[in-house]
Structure 1
Amino acid sequence: MQQPLDARVVEGRPDHVDLETDVLILGAGACGLVAALKAAAAGAETIVLERDPVPAGSTAMSSGFIPAPGTRFQEAIGVTDDTPARFLDDIQEKAKRRSQPVIADLATRTIAPALEWLADEAGLEWIVLDDFLYPGHTRHRMHAVPEKTGEALMGRLQQAVEAAGIPVVTDAFCDTLYRDAPGHIDAVALLRPDGSREIIRAKAVVLACNGYGGNPDLVARHIPEMADGLYYGHEGNTGSALLWGEEMQAQTAHLTAYQGHGSLAHPHGILISWALMMEGGIQVNLAGQRFSNEHGGYSEQAVNVLAQPDGVAWNVYDQRLHDFAMSFPDYQQAFQAGAVRVAQDVSSLAATLQVPEAALSETLAEVERLSKAETKEDATDRFGRSFAGHKGFSTPFHAVKVTGALFHTQGGLLVDDTARVLQADGEPFTNLLAGGGAACGVSGPEVSGYLSGNGLLTAVSLGFVAGTTAARLAGAS
C-alpha cells in the first residue's frame, strides 16, 4: 500500500487501546527479528510490526555479512587472536577515532555473544569468510549464513521467529507514538491497508525501522552530496525513528554518515562484490584512467565514482578474479544478466568499454609495472594503493559497468549501553529503545568511516541488547 511519511508524537494516552503486549518491535529486519527472539526467549510477550507485506528491508538487500570477533566459528578456521578490543580499534581507525564510543564499545562486545546465541538458541548456522580481508579489517571476522546472501539471512531469522511462535504483523504502518510522560511511550498507532487504525499499548517499544535513506528531504538536508545519487536501499526507510526522536527532542548524532557503495552494476542494479577490487581489480572511468585508491573502501568509493563523467566507472579484472567472484550469488546473478563483459585483448576491451584505447593501454601497463616493482615504495601508485604482490592481469579481461549509490544511513538516535534512547538531558527514555539504522551507528560522521559490515553489526548487536533490555523493562526477566 502507498504509505505517508508521517511520524507523529501525540502527548497523552489514546482514548482506546485495541491490544496490549509486553514488547512491541517496529520493523522486521535483522534488528527487529533478533530483538524479538531475545525478548521472547526471556519470557516477554512480543509482537513485531512490519510495514511491508513481506519482511525483507535493508537486510535482504545486503550481502548478509556480519563482522564479529572472538567467536568459536573463527576458531574453527584457525583465527584465535581476534578480540573485541582489536575490532573496536579497526572501527575507530576507519572512522578517524570519531565513532560514538559507547555504541562502538557495546557493539563490539556483544556481537560475538549474539551470533553464538543465535546459533545455539535459534538454530542459525554461521560460516566465516576467509578468502580475503575486507577493507579496514585486520582479521577474518566476517560471518554469514552458508548461502552468503542477506536474503538467506532474513529467511533463517524468519524461520526462527516463526518457530518461536512470535507474531509478525505485516502491512502494519506505524505512524504515531503516544507519549504519556516526557520519557515514556504508552502506545503505538498503526495504519492498515484498508485505512483502518489500530492502537497497541506496550511496556517497552523497540525502534528497529532503519534509517532515512528513502526520505529524499532528509537525505538532501543531511547528506546533500547524495541527493541526486541512486538510492539502493529499501524504500520503506523513510526516517520515522529519526522524525519521532526529533519531535521528542531525543539526542541524535552523525546524521551526515552513511554507507555508500562504488560498485553497483549499471543499469542492472546488482551489487558487485568489492572482493574483486581487494583481490586485484581496478576501476577506470570513461577516459580509460584510474581515479582513486580502490583499496580505500567501497563506501567512500561511491562518491569517487559519482564524480566521474556520467557518474559511472568500469570494474576491470581478469579470468582468475572472475572465477573467484563466481562463488558469490550476487555476481552469478550479474553474470547471468549480462552485466559482465569479456574481452580477449586490450584493443577489444577498449572497444567494449568504449574508452580510448591508448589511455586504457597505459593504465594497464602502469598496473603491470607497479605489480613487478621490487620495493613496496615503488609498488605504490599516486593514489596510495600498493600493488605489491599483485599477480598482474592475464587475458581474457572481464569488466562490469558500475555506478555509486547510497545504501543506508548511519546516523540516528543516540542510545545508552542498554540500547535505550537518550533524551535531551542525557537521561534515557524509560521504555523506548532503538537499534540498527534507527540508532546512531559506529561509522563516525562521514561516508569514509564505514567499515565493511557496520550496518548489520549494529542491527544484530543492538537488536540483541534491545531485546534483552525490553524484556527486563516489561518485567519478564
Structure 2
Amino acid sequence: MTVIAFDEVQHPFEVRIPLVIIGAGACGLVAALAAKELGIELVVLERDNTPRGSTFMSSGFIPAANTRFQTAAGVVDSPGLMVDDIQHKNHNEADPSIVQVLADQSARVIEWLADQHKIPFELVQGFLYPGHSQMRMHSTPRRTGQELMSTLLNAAAEAGVDILTNAHVTALYVDAQSCIQGVSYQQPDGQVETIGCDALLLACNGYGGNKALVDKYLPQMNKALYYGHEGNQGDAVIWGEQLGASLMDLTAFQGHGSLADPPQTLISWAVMMQGGVQVNTDTERFADENQGYSEAAAKVLAQPTGYVFNIYDERIHQTLLAFEDYQNALTTKSVKSFASRAELATGLGLDDTKLEQMFALMTQSSEAAEPDALGRTFVPEQQLVAPFYAIKVTGALFHTQGGLEIDTAGRVLSATGDVMPNLFAAGGAARGVSGSNDTGYLSGNGLLHAVVLGAIAGECAAKKVLS
C-alpha cells in the first residue's frame, strides 16, 4: 500500500469519477447509497470477487435510538441514553462529538434504509446485550450479517450504484496540498488501472487480517483465531501514516468469547444474557459473563486449554433457535444436550461435585439478589434447569476499532488537527467509539459506525464534490 506524489504528466488517469469509495461492505454500500441520492457519479472499488467484508461475518445487529420500530414495541429510548451507554462502556475514552452524532442520526439512517431502500429491519427483542439500557438492536429477519449484506447489495443494484469487484486498490495519488487526486487498483490478472477523483472515501475496514500490525498493536491477541475478513489488511492505517493523518486508538478491538470451533460458528451472547454461563475444563467459571463478549475473548483464551463450554438450558435453547448461526451450529452437531447435571458433567469431562457447587452458588446469588464472587448477579427467572445444553467455544479477534481520526462529517484529520482536503473515512477504517482496548466495545459499535457514519460520510463527500 503506497501513497504516490501526483504528477499529471507521469500519472495521467484513464478515467475520472467524482467520488471513489474503497470497500463494498456495509459502510461502503451505505455511503454509496447516500451519495447517489445527491445525484453524483461514483464508483465503489471492492478487492473481492463478491462483496462480503466483515459485515458478512457479523450478526448484522445495528443499534439505534428512538426508532419507529422501538416505538411500535413500546420501547422508550433516546439518543441521550444511547450516548450514556456507549460512553459508560468505553470509560469516556471516545470522541464525544462522534458518539453524539452517531446516536442522534441512528434512527434517521435506519428508517431511511428501511423506507427508501427496503432493508427489512426489525427490533431484536427478548433480552438486552451487555451495556445497553434499552432494546435498540435492529436486524434483518434471519439475524445474520450475510442477510444484511444481501439486502444492501440489492439496494445498491436498484439504486444504480456501480461496484467494481476484483479491484484491489494498491496506491493513492496525492498532490503537494495533501489533496487526493486518484487511485490505482490491480486486477487478478495483474493489470493495473487508474481512476482520478474529486473525493475519496475509505470504507476498507481495519487491520485484523494483518499479522504484523496485530503483533504490533494487539500482542494479547496475536495467537487468537481471526474471525474477520482476510482483506482487512490495514490499508487505511498504512495510507494514513504516509499521508500524515492522525491515527487514534489503534490498540482497540472487538473480540468475541463465543465462537464454536469447530466449525467456526458465532454463538450469540444472548446465551449469557439470559442466564447461561461459561465454564472451563477445570469446571470453573472465570468471569462475569454479563460484562460483554468482546473482553471475554482474551479471558477465554487465557483458560488452561484455550477453550471453554457455554452451558445453558431448554429455555435459552428455544430463544436461540431464532438465530441462523445457532441453527448452523445444530446442523454441525456443535450443540450437545444432556438430560441431567450428572450427564452434563460426564459428557463434557467435568467434575460433577464442582459443577453442583457452581449451580448452588448461582442459586444463592439469585435468592439473595446479590453478586457472586465474580460480580454477577443471577435472577430467579433465569435459573438453569435440566435438560442442559453445551457448546465448546473459543475466543476470537473479530475486527479492530482504531484508525483514522475523523470529524463528525467523516473528514479525515491530519496529525496537526487540520481537515484533510478531500479524504473521508468511516467504519473500521476510522477511529471507532470503543475507547483504547477491548473492554470498551459496546455490542453493535462496529456496525453502528459503519452504517450511520457511512451514510453521513457519503452525504458529506458528495456535497464536497458538488461544492
Q: TM-score, normalised by structure 2?
A: 0.98
Matched, 1:376 2:369: yes
The answer as to 2:9 corresponding to 1:20 is no
SS of equivalent to 1:234: coil
CA deviation string 1:346-394 (max 9, x = no partner): 22211211122222222122223323x1x323xx101110013343222
> Partner residue of 2:45?
49
Residues 1:37 and 2:33 are matched in the alignment: yes
Which deviations, in whole Å up to 9, do the C-alpha atoms of 1:171-215 show, x marking residues without a partner? 000010000133310010000011010000111110000000000
Query: Distance in 1 between the 2:101 and 2:179 partners?
Result: 24
CA–CA distance in 2 between the matches of 1:146 and 1:357? Answer: 39
* Code of the aligned partner of 1:146: P
User: What is the CA distance between 1:293 and its match in structure 2?
Assistant: 0.2
Partner of 1:145: 140
Kindly indicate whether the alpha-carbon contact (under 8 Å) linking 1:183 and 1:423 is maintained by their aligned counterparts in 2: no
CA contact (8 A) 2:294 2:439 kept: yes
From 294, 313, 316, the equivalent of 1:318 is: 313
Task: Give the secondary-structure state (helix, strand or coil) at the position aligned to 1:474.
Answer: helix
Structure 2: which amino acid aligns with 1:159? Answer: N
Tell me the CA shift for residue 26 of structure 1: 0.1
Q: Give the structure 2 partner of residue 295 of structure 1.
A: 290
Q: 2:105 aligns with which of 92, 100, 110?
A: 110
Paired-residue identity, %: 48
Task: Give the superposition deviation at 1:454.
Answer: 0.2
Q: What is aligned with 2:71?
A: 75
What is residue 271 of structure 1 aligned with on the other side? 266
Runs of 5+ unmatched residues, structure 2: none
State yes or no: 1:442 paired with 2:433. yes
Q: How does 1:381-396 map to 2 (within 5 A)?
A: 381-396=372-387
- Partner residue, 2:5: 11
Distance 1:425 1:57, change over 3 A: same
Query: In the aligned structure 2, how far is the partner of 1:392 from the partner of 1:473?
Result: 56
Gaps of 5+ in 1: 1-6
Q: Distance in 2 between matches of 1:193 and 1:303?
A: 37
- The one of 435, 447, 450 equivalent to 1:459 is 450
Question: Once the two structures are superposed, what CA deviation does each residue of 1:368-427 show, in whole Å capped at 9, x if it has no partner?
Answer: 3323x1x323xx101110013343222111000000000000000000111010012211
Residues 111-145 of structure 1, C-alpha deviation per residue, up to 9 Å, x if partnerless? 22111111222121210111111110011110011
Is contact 2:406–2:412 with CA below 8 Å preserved after alignment? yes
Residue 168 of structure 2 corresponds to 173
Aligned position for 1:244 = 239
1:401 and 2:397 are equivalent in the alignment = no
Aligned partners of 2:266 and 2:31: how far apart in 1? 28
Contact in 2 for aligned 1:368/1:393 (Cα 8 Å): no
CA contact (8 A) 1:411 1:441 kept: yes
Following the alignment from structure 1 to structure 2, what is the Cα–Cα distance between the partners of residues 23 and 236?
22
2:462 corresponding residue in structure 1: 471
Q: What's the CA shift for 1:310?
A: 1.2
Secondary structure of the structure 2 residue equivalent to 1:300: helix
- Kept in 1, the 8 Å contact 2:142–2:322? The answer is no
Partner of 1:429: 420
Instruction: Look up the SS of the partner of 1:407 in the other structure.
Output: strand
The 2-side partners of 1:390 and 1:381 are apart by 17
Matching of residue 197 in structure 1 with residue 192 in structure 2: yes
Contact 1:71 1:116 in 2 (8 A): yes
CA distance in 2, matches of 1:248, 1:15: 18
Please tell me whether the aligned partners of residues 274 and 382 of structure 2 are also in contact (alpha carbons under 8 angstroms). no
